[in-house]
């Protein structure tokens, strides 16, 4: 029982940590591409900014869904018999 709880804690940490790393890398790449596109065509800056913020919200939402799943496994684990 306690061995399973240790693996659950490890899995929850990996889900949150790897999700955070992926979200940060994704937003960083997206931000750099936005700056490149805005430098090439400044007249499209407003449209590009709107799309960038929409995608940033979707990337963060995917990360927060992973955090929610990790918290479910940490606090209400369906795999542990009680």
CA-to-CA distance for 82 and 11, rounded, in angstroms? 19
| Residue pair 8/80 in contact by the 8 Å Cβ criterion | yes
* 67 has catalytic annotation: no
Q: Among 9, 60, 61, 80, which one carries the catalytic annotation?
A: 60
Closest by CA position to 13, among listed 57, 66, 77: 66
Where in the sequence numbering do the catalytic residues fall?
A: 60
């Amino acid at each position: 029982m306690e061995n399973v709880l240790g693996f659950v804690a490890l899995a929850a940490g990996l889900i949150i940590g790897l999700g955070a790393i992926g979200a940060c890398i994704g937003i960083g790449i997206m931000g750099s591409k936005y700056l490149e596109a805005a430098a090439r065509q400044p007249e499209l800056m407003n449209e590009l900014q709107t799309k960038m913020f929409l995608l940033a919200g979707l990337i963060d939402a995917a990360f927060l869904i992973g955090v929610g799943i990790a918290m479910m496994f940490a606090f209400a684990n369906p795999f542990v018999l009680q």
